[in-house]
Amino acid sequence: MMPVLYFAPENIEKFRALLQTAKRAVVVTHHNPDGDAIGTSLALTQVLKALGIDTSVIVPNPFPEFLHWMNGVKDILIYKHGHTRPKQLLSEADLLFCVDLNALSRMDALGKFISALPVPRVMIDHHLQPELKDFTIAFSDPGACSSAETFYHLMKDLGLLPRLNITAAEAIYTGMMTDTNGFRNNCSRPEVFYIIAELLQYGIDKDKIYNAVYNSYSYNRMRLLGYALEKMVVLPEYRTAYIALTKEEIASFHFQPGDTEGFVNYPLHIKDIVLSVFLSENQENIRLSFRSRGQFSVNEFARKHFEGGGHLNAAGGISRLTVTETIAKFIQSIEPYKDELSAV
């Protein structure tokens, strides 16, 4: 079956046929799962179970503590732990869902294992430039604020909204809220707020969700944030700021997954800064997060220079150099964009 994209009626019918025959499904998402990845995965799981499909969620590595309050989190399996159970479930599945990712490569070792499985793969995502060859069916809406929003529209087109319950509604809201920085970014479409109004009808407590996500940080996380801001470097000639942390610096603050979530957004609070970059070193490489204002495309910048991608104003990438070399490469890479950055 050739990959298909978006929400054409024929795509919906192909998907509906897969749902009617599936008995065991697995939901997977990208490395370093965030609120949108976990939220969409859990909401999808609720719907699939309501349809009588035995469903598991497997993620490449641990996810932030501030998401552990969500219903269903305790059943999520971590592929990186090396247990045989995740591989067994994947091998037995007759349908795979890949959510909040546009390429299997974004799952690292988990993606490599999945690529060899002869099972239909359905993508539910909102990132630019999906690699359609990786998927049997691809439901992708780059204009959506989150994959959770894409999922909601898909459920609506399938006529499955009645299958949602409060747990699924909480998960969708969490995905939408976290991927928009508390509904402050990427919310230009009125559909976002229509969906919020609908989710409230399920009885979710939006204030409780906000507090669980944004007001539950650890003491060490706040200390790490202060240290990171002290290390921030501003490049006024490029209207750019960056923060770089080595793995030793991160470890000295007793790092837990998710502790650096949102750090990349802080430099954009500075007047005249239009590009912010956060570099964090781990055992394998350096992860880069990019944020921008206006029409400067960090998606294109990350794709061209750092093996990454994402959205117009939010993207990620990797570097296999040292921290010092990565900073030098970044500064060299933005030189040709000086006029473009100045014009934003």
**Bridge partners (DSSP) listed for residue 78:** 59
- Region of 85 (left: φ > 0; alpha: ψ -120 to 50; beta: rest) is alpha
Return per-residue pLDDT of the chain as tens, 344 residues: 344 455 667 788 999 999 999 999 999 999 999 999 999 999 999 999 999 999 999 999 999 999 999 999 999 999 976 679 999 999 999 999 999 999 999 998 999 999 999 999 999 999 988 898 999 999 999 889 999 999 999 999 999 999 999 999 999 999 999 999 899 888 888 999 999 999 999 999 999 999 999 999 999 999 999 999 999 999 999 999 999 999 999 999 999 988 999 999 999 999 999 999 999 999 889 999 999 999 999 999 999 999 998 889 999 999 999 999 999 999 999 999 999 999 88
Q: If we measure between CA atoms, which residue out of 191, 129, 131 comes closest to residue 157?
A: 191
Q: If we measure between CA atoms, which residue out of 284, 226, 280, 224 comes closest to residue 252?
A: 224
Q: What is the pLDDT of residue 266?
A: 96
Name the 3-class secondary structure at 302.
helix
Q: How far apart are CA 253 and CA 259, in angstroms?
A: 10
Q: If we measure between CA atoms, which residue out of 219, 172, 180, 165 comes closest to residue 196?
A: 172
Q: If we measure between CA atoms, which residue out of 200, 233, 236, 249 comes closest to residue 327?
A: 233
**Bridge partners (DSSP) listed for residue 139:** 124
Does the reported pTM lie above 0.85?
yes
DSSP 266: G
Q: How far apart are CA 64 and CA 80, in angstroms?
A: 15
- All domains of the chain, ordered by start, with CATH? 9-214 (3.90.1640.10), 220-343 (3.10.310.30)
Whole-angstrom CA distances from 250 to 81, 113, 276, 321 are 21, 30, 19, 18
Q: What is the pLDDT of residue 3?
A: 41
